[in-house]
Chain A
Amino acid sequence: MRATTNVIRSTIQVHMKNTLARPMFQIVLVFQPFVIATTTYMVYRDANVDDFVAFVVLGGGLSGIWSAMTFSSLGDINRERWFGTLNPMLASPTSLLLVFAAKITANALLSLLSMGIAIVYSLILLGSNFAIAHGLAFVGALGLFLFSTSAFALCLSLVFLLSRTTQVMQNFIEAPLLVIGGMAFPVSILPGWAQAISALLPIRWGSETLRLTFDPAPLSTHWWTVAGLTLLSGVVYLGLATFFFRRLEHRVRYLGNLELA
Chain B
Amino acid sequence: MSEPVVAVRDLFREYKTTVGLLRRKPRIVNALNGISFDVQPGEIFGMVGPNGAGKTTLIKILATLLLPTSGTAQVLGYDVVHHERRIRQHINFILGGERGLYWRLSGYDNLRYFADLYRLDRATAETRCKDLLTLVGLWDRHDERVEGYSKGMKQRLHIAKALINEPRVLFLDEPTIGLDPLAARMLRELISEIRSRGITIFLTSHYMWEMEILCDRLAVLCDGKIITLDSPANLKNHVNGLEVVELQVLGTLDEVADRLRARPYIDTVSLSSSGHAQTIRVQTDDAQATISEIRQSLPGIDLSRLVVRPPNLEDAYIKLVGGES
> A residues near B, CB below 8 A?
2-3, 6-7, 9-11, 14, 17-18, 21, 82-85, 87-94, 99, 250, 253-254, 256, 258-259
Contact of A85 with B93 in the complex, beta carbons under 8 Å: no
Nearest CB in chain A: distance from B144 CB, A: 14
- B64 to chain A minimum Cβ distance, whole angstroms, is 6
Contact of A84 among B99, B118, B121 (CB under 8 A): B99
- Cα of A142 to Cα of B28 in the assembled complex, Å: 50
- How far apart are the CA atoms of A2 and B123 in the complex, in Å? 13
The CA of A256 and the CA of B58, in the complex, are separated in Å by 12
Name A83's contact: one of B15, B99, B117 (CB within 8 Å).
B99
Contact B116 A10 (CB under 8 A): yes
- Is A253 within 8 A of B64, CB to CB? yes
Q: Knowing that A2-B121, A88-B114, A256-B65 are A-B contacts, what are 11 other residue pairs whose CB atoms are under 8 Å apart, sorted by A's residue number?
A: A6-B121, A7-B117, A14-B102, A17-B104, A21-B104, A85-B101, A88-B161, A250-B67, A253-B65, A253-B67, A254-B67
B9 part of interface (Cβ distance < 8 Å):
no
Q: Do A88 and B100 contact each other (CB < 8 Å), given the known contacts A6-B119, A6-B122, A7-B119? A: yes
Give bound CA distance, A6 to B123, whole Å. Answer: 12
CB of A87 within 8 A of CB of B122, answer no
Q: Closest residue to B57 on the A side, CB-wise? A: A256
Q: Do A18 and B119 have beta carbons less than 8 Å apart?
A: no
Q: Which of B105-113, B190-198, B242-250, B307-315 lies at the interface with chain A?
A: B105-113
Shortest Cβ distance from residue B114 to the other chain A in the assembled complex, whole angstroms: 7
CB A58 to nearest CB in B, in angstroms, measures 32
Contact check, B102 vs A83: say whether CB atoms are below 8 A apart. Answer: yes
Q: Is the CB–CB distance between A91 and B64 below 8 Å?
A: yes
**Is B78 interfacial (CB 8 A cutoff)?**
no
Complex Cα distance, B63 from A9, in Å, reads 26
Tell me how far the C-beta of B211 lies from the nearest C-beta in chain A, rounded to whole angstroms. 24
The distance from the CB of A86 to the nearest CB of chain B, in whole angstroms, is 9
Interface centre among A9, A256, A258, A259 (most CB of B within 10 A): A256
Among B97, B100, B101, B161: residue with most chain A CB under 10 A: B100
6 tightest Cβ-Cβ pairs between the two chains A and B: A84-B99, A3-B119, A92-B117, A10-B116, A84-B100, A256-B66
Q: How far is the CA of A94 from the CA of B164 in the complex (A)?
A: 14
* A residues in contact with B88, CB < 8 Å: 91-93
Which of the residues A6, A83, A253 comes within 8 Å of B101, measured between beta carbons?
A83
Beta-carbon nearest neighbor of B116 in chain A: A10
- Nearest-neighbour CB distance to chain B for A186, whole angstroms, equals 41
Whether B188 sits at the interface, judged by CB under 8 Å, is no
- Decide yes or no: A91 and B116 within 8 Å by CB, A17-B105, A83-B103, A250-B67 being known contacts: no
Q: B60 at interface (Cβ–Cβ under 8 A)?
A: yes
Give the docked Cα–Cα distance between A96 and B222 (Å): 34
Q: Would you list which residues of chain B between 156 and 184 have a CB under 8 Å from chain A?
A: 161
CA distance A190 to B128 in the complex (A): 58
Collect the chain A residues with CB atoms within 8 Å of residue B84's CB.
253
Give every chain B residue within 8 A of A7 (Cβ-Cβ): 116-117, 119
Q: Is the CB of A18 within 8 A of B89?
A: no
B85 contacts partner chain A, Cβ-Cβ < 8 Å: yes
Shortest C-beta distance, A97 to chain B (Å), equals: 13
Indicate whether B95 reaches chain A with its CB closer than 8 angstroms. yes
- List the A residue with the shortest CB-CB distance to B125: A6
CA distance A90 to B118 in the complex (A): 11
Q: Could you tell me if B119 and A17 are in contact, using CB atoms closer than 8 angstroms? A: no
Cβ–Cβ < 8 Å partners of B118 in chain A:
92-94
Give the complex CA separation of A11 and B115 in angstroms.
Answer: 11
Q: Assess whether B67 is in contact with A83, with CB atoms less than 8 Å apart.
A: no
Interface 0/1 of B8-42, CB less than 8 Å to A: 00000001000000000000000000000000000
Report how far A6 CA is from B102 CA in the complex, Å. 18
Given contacts A10-B112, A21-B104, contact A93 B65 (CB under 8 A): no
CB contacts (< 8 Å) of B103 on chain A: these are 83
Q: Assess whether A85 is in contact with B104, with CB atoms less than 8 Å apart.
A: no
* A87 touching B95 in the complex, CB below 8 Å, given contacts A7-B116, A17-B109: yes
From B66, B112, B116, B161, give the contact of A253 (CB < 8 A): B66
* Contact partners of B161 in chain A: CB under 8 A: 88
Residues of A within 8 A of B116 (CB): 3, 6-7, 9-11
B293 to chain A, nearest CB (A): 43
Find out whether the CB atom of A14 lies under 8 angstroms from the CB atom of B109.
yes
A6–B117 alpha-carbon span in the complex (Å): 8
A94 to B89, CA, bound (A): 9
Residues of A within 8 A of B65 (CB): 87, 90-91, 253, 256, 258
- Using Cβ atoms and an 8 Å threshold, which residues of chain B touch A259? 95, 99
What residues of B have a CB within 8 angstroms of the CB of A254 in the complex? 66-67
- Return A18 CB to nearest CB of chain B, in Å: 5
Q: Tell me whether B104 and A99 are in contact (CB under 8 A).
A: no
Asked whether B109 lies within 8 Å of A256 as measured between CB atoms, the reply is: no
B95 is contacted by which of A2, A3, A6, A84 (Cβ under 8 Å)? A84
